[in-house]
């Protein structure tokens, strides 16, 4: 069921920004206010339209979280689908967009003053299909994704510029590009619902530019009720990854593209899960067996994907694949790979891959230089 209420609805806004919210405790007012300070005037044909999708909750409960003077400047949509996932409301909001460019935003997040205007100006100047926003955390720390080639910010390449490391499509997307590629957030996954969306976007052939020096997207602190936060079974945590690599779309990609996606899935999601499980209760024997099976599945779809990774990374891979290696040793290897600067974290396991974009000899300096 869907309903709509309130908000100015210009016939031809230039940018539609969509926010999904499922709980009245979320700081939706700060998100809206930051967009209104984003540099495009709302309510005008050449301006901004803000859409808040109230997911499995009434607009009457969400709207009071927006300042009185801002509330009439927001379009509230309601979506009741009974599914605890942000995919549905984001798809719903994008489906109601009419502007040439559309963007999505988390209800905990904000943008810096002037950011929307910065992104839009760049998109118009370069005729971008995608403008990737620079990001930072609310505490000021830079988020160093995607890991672009040093000095490269325009007309990006999905493999050489490691676009897979930008998981969420934050910035501006040409709406016609969303339609051309039939992009949708994947409903039903407890986490990773944006992986297929962005993979198809980065490898879809459109023009992609990074808004270096522009106002940044600001990621807020995790809320206790964020739908991607809770501890879940290992297969649920990585369901999106196995579904992606087994999809017809993935199977049709060139081997270099499949390797680029798989190495990111391993580096960020599999390795990341190893660490977070230790922080939230540890690993059971069943967990270890499932993780081994999933990692085997990922690697089978892109042989050679991990060749550029460091010696320390490969020691961790072997521990994940061999559940007979004890949890203490698994934890030790997970910690060891993060002691950056040591020889075993810098040297790739295959010297012939030393110049590969994923080799630590190239990846780490590029990440450090990203602004």
CATH 3.90.550.10 residue ranges in the chain? 2-219
Residue 217 has phi, psi (to 5 degrees) of -80, 130
pLDDT for the residue 341? 84
pLDDT tens digits, one per residue of 122-179: 999 999 999 999 999 999 999 999 999 999 999 999 999 999 999 999 999 999 999 9
Pairing label, strands 142-143, 171-174: unpaired
Contact 217, 111 (CB under 8 A): yes
Out of 169-178, 217-226, 250-259, 328-337, pick the least confident: 217-226
pLDDT tens digits, one per residue of 178-206: 999 999 999 888 889 999 999 999 999 99
Residue whose tokens read 């689908």: 81
3-state SS, residue 117: helix
Pairing label, strands 142-143, 135-137: antiparallel
Query: How big is the chain, counted in residues?
Result: 371
- Within 10 angstroms of residue 269's Cβ, the number of other Cβ atoms is 20
Its pTM stands at 0.92
pLDDT for the residue 229? 46
Question: CB under 8 Å to 248, separation ≥6 — which residues?
Answer: none
On average, the pLDDT of the chain sits at 92
How many helices (H) and strands (E) the chain has is answered by 17, 12
pLDDT for the residue 43? 66
Question: CB under 8 Å to 188, separation ≥6 — which residues?
Answer: 83, 85, 87
pLDDT tens digits, one per residue of 76-114: 999 998 888 899 999 999 999 999 999 999 999 999 999
342, burial (CB in 10 Å: exposed 0-12, middle 13-18, buried 19+): middle
The token pair at 183 is 């992009």
Per CATH, the homologous superfamily of domain 2-219 is: Spore Coat Polysaccharide Biosynthesis Protein SpsA; Chain A (3.90.550.10)
Crossing angle, helix 311-321 and helix 271-279, to 10 degrees? 70
For residue 353, what is the DSSP state? G
pLDDT for the residue 232? 82
In this model, does residue 9 exceed pLDDT 90? no
pLDDT tens digits, one per residue of 239-284: 999 999 999 999 999 999 999 999 999 999 999 999 888 888 888 8
Question: What gap in Å lies between CA 364 and CA 310, rounded to an integer?
Answer: 11
pLDDT for the residue 6? 54
Nearest 5°: the CA angle 193, 177, 189 is: 10
Contact 216, 112 (CB under 8 A): yes
pLDDT for the residue 55? 94
């Amino acid at each position: 069921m869907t309903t709509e209420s309130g908000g100015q609805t210009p016939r031809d806004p230039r940018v539609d920004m969509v926010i999904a919210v499922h709980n009245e405790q979320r700081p939706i007012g700060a998100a809206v206010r930051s967009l209104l300070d984003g540099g495009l005037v709302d309510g005008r044909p050449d301006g901004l339209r803000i859409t808040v999708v109230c997911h499995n909750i009434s607009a009457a409960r969400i709207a009071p979280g927006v300042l009185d003077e801002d509330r009439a400047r927001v379009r509230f949509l309601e979506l009741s689908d009974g599914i605890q996932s942000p995919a549905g409301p984001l798809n719903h909001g994008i489906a109601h967009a009419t502007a040439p460019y559309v963007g999505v935003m988390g209800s905990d997040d904000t943008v810096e003053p002037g950011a929307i205007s910065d992104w839009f100006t760049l998109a118009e100047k370069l005729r971008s299909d995608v403008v990737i926003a620079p990001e930072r955390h609310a505490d000021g720390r830079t988020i160093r994704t995607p890991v672009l080639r040093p000095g490269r910010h325009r007309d990006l390449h999905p493999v050489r510029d490691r676009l897979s490391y930008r998981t969420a499509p934050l910035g501006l997307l040409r709406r016609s590009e969303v339609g051309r590629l039939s992009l949708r957030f994947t409903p039903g996954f407890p986490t990773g619902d944006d992986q297929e969306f962005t993979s198809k976007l980065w490898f879809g052939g459109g023009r992609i530019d990074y808004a270096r020096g522009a106002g940044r997207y600001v990621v807020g602190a995790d809320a206790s009720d964020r739908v991607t936060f809770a501890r879940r079974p290992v297969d649920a945590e990585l369901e999106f990854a196995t579904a992606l690599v087994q999809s017809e779309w993935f199977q049709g990609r060139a081997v270099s593209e499949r390797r680029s996606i798989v190495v990111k899935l391993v580096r960020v999601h599999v390795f990341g899960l190893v660490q977070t499980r230790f922080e939230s209760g540890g690993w059971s024997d069943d967990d270890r067996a499932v993780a081994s099976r999933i990692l085997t599945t990922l690697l089978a779809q892109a042989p050679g994907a991990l060749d550029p990774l460091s010696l320390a990374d490969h020691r961790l891979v072997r521990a994940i694949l061999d559940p007979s290696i004890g949890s203490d040793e698994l934890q030790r290897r997970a910690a060891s790979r993060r002691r950056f600067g040591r020889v075993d974290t810098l040297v790739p396991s295959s010297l012939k891959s030393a110049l590969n974009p994923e080799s630590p000899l190239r990846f780490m300096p590029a990440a450090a230089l990203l602004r």
